[in-house]
């Protein structure tokens, strides 16, 4: 691999890789074509502790760190990015928001079933009119005695249809003067089945089609005051902190898919013959493989470094954005070159690189576009110097 984590992390990699090859690879294209969420595999991953990798055992988690987490997402995504993003979104967003900002009652009631894999989590920030400008959201939460009434629509929500527990951002008050539009947004824990709360249209996506993505519709949803996460009005700041950690897992998602596409291209180049010799003997192909392999190793270093900083309790937000930005764009370049190396075969669904090519694009969009990552990185650099 080039970058070698400690032995226990490599043992985890081997375990997850075996599982992915045995339980996921035979079904990848079937799930993709039918937009089938792999519920049985997700339940198995929960039993293995992968749906709560980064949470303490006292809350039902596996008690591991972000380095282990990155390796888990990387290895799942190497076979199927849809499964990789399922684990990433569940751990990094809904579950981690509750872990970082919830009180003990909320953790026992909600984090324990999430971390143990008995429930699936979803996280609702994005709306039809507010994506990168997330602070412009329109979902409202109005105080009503000991409850809040939530009204609005969320879009592009991972696990919007299959989720059991949701963290949803809504505006509880107008922004204070001089504090920006994001002020006054709060975070709430919702449960499937609450009156007025339902999933909307399930999206028909370019890639990662076995990952469930849908709208959330909220119509006078009565949410107990006890389900407010942290302080009223500070939900946007909580969301940004949550996304910082999530960017490590999206970096790992892109890294894993890049590795998978690269391996397919490398394998094909050794068995395909042109002009009387293997494709891999041609210098033009060798140069492509050299560039792909080098960029993947550089992405791996950035992802593991960001994970290591978070595990050590050191500032990691800039490193996470760098890892997410670079890894996602490397994944796009590698998948593109993999299709090119396979030529016409790379364009048909009988060969895996076609799916990697479709799947990787989400990494440059989800959890902050490449443009947003560059803005975040620039802000850090300018503040440091």
Query: Which residues are part of the catalytic machinery?
Result: 367
The structure tokens listed for 362 are 């989400």
Question: 286: Cβ–Cβ under 8 A, 6 or more apart, which residues?
Answer: 280
The answer to whether 41 and 24 are in contact (CB under 8 A) is yes
The answer to whether 197 and 221 are in contact (CB under 8 A) is yes
Distance of CA 112 to the CA centre of its chain: 20
Query: Judging by beta carbons within 10 Å of its beta carbon (0-12, 13-18, 19+), is residue 307 exposed, middle or buried?
Result: buried
Q: How far apart are CA 197 and CA 216, in angstroms?
A: 7
Q: How far apart are CA 79 and CA 352, in angstroms?
A: 9
The structure tokens listed for 55 are 């949470």
The structure tokens listed for 322 are 């760098």
Give the three-class secondary structure for 273: strand
Q: Which parts of 136-273 fold into alpha helices (H)? A: 235-271
Q: In the chain, what is the greatest distance between 2 CA atoms, to the nearest angstrom? A: 79
Q: How far apart are CA 298 and CA 331, in angstroms?
A: 12
The answer to whether 98 and 111 are in contact (CB under 8 A) is yes
**234 φ, ψ (degrees, to nearest 5):** -110, 15
- The H-or-E segment that residue 12 falls in is helix 7-19
């Amino acid at each position: 691999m080039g970058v070698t984590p400690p032995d226990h992390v490599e043992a985890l990699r081997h375990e997850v890789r075996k599982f992915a090859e045995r339980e996921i690879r035979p079904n990848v294209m079937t799930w993709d074509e039918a937009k089938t969420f792999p519920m049985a595999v997700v339940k198995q991953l929960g039993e293995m502790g992968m749906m709560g990798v980064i949470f303490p055992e006292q809350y039902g988690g596996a008690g591991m760190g972000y380095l282990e987490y990155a390796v888990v997402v990387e290895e799942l995504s190497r076979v199927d990015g849809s499964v990789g993003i399922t684990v990433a979104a569940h751990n990094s967003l809904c579950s981690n928001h509750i872990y970082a900002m919830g009180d003990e009652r909320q953790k026992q009631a909600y984090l324990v079933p999430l971390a143990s894999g008995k429930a699936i989590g979803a996280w609702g920030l994005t709306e039809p009119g507010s994506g990168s400008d997330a602070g412009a959201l329109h979902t409202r939460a109005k105080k009503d005695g000991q409850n809040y009434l939530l009204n609005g629509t969320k879009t592009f929500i991972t696990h919007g249809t299959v989720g059991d527990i949701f963290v949803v951002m809504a505006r509880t008050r107008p922004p204070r003067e001089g504090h920006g539009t994001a002020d006054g947004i709060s975070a709430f824990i919702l449960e499937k089945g609450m009156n007025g709360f339902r999933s909307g249209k399930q999206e028909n996506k370019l890639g990662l089609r076995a990952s469930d993505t849908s709208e959330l519709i909220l119509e006078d949803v009565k949410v107990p005051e006890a389900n407010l996460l942290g302080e009223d009005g500070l939900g946007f700041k909580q969301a940004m902190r949550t996304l910082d950690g999530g960017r490590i897992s999206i970096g790992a998602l892109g890294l894993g898919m890049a590795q998978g596409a690269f391996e397919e291209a490398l394998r094909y180049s050794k068995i395909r013959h042109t002009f009387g010799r293997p494709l891999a003997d041609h210098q033009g192909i060798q140069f492509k493989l050299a560039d792909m392999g080098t960029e993947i190793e550089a992405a791996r270093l950035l992802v593991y470094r960001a994970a290591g900083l978070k595990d050590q309790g050191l500032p990691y937000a800039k490193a996470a954005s760098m890892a997410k930005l670079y890894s996602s764009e490397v994944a796009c370049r590698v998948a593109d070159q993999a299709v090119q190396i396979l030529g016409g075969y790379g364009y048909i669904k009988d060969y895996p690189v076609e799916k990697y090519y479709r799947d990787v694009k989400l990494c440059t969009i989800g959890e902050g576009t490449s443009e947003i990552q560059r803005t975040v990185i620039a802000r850090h650099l300018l503040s440091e110097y």
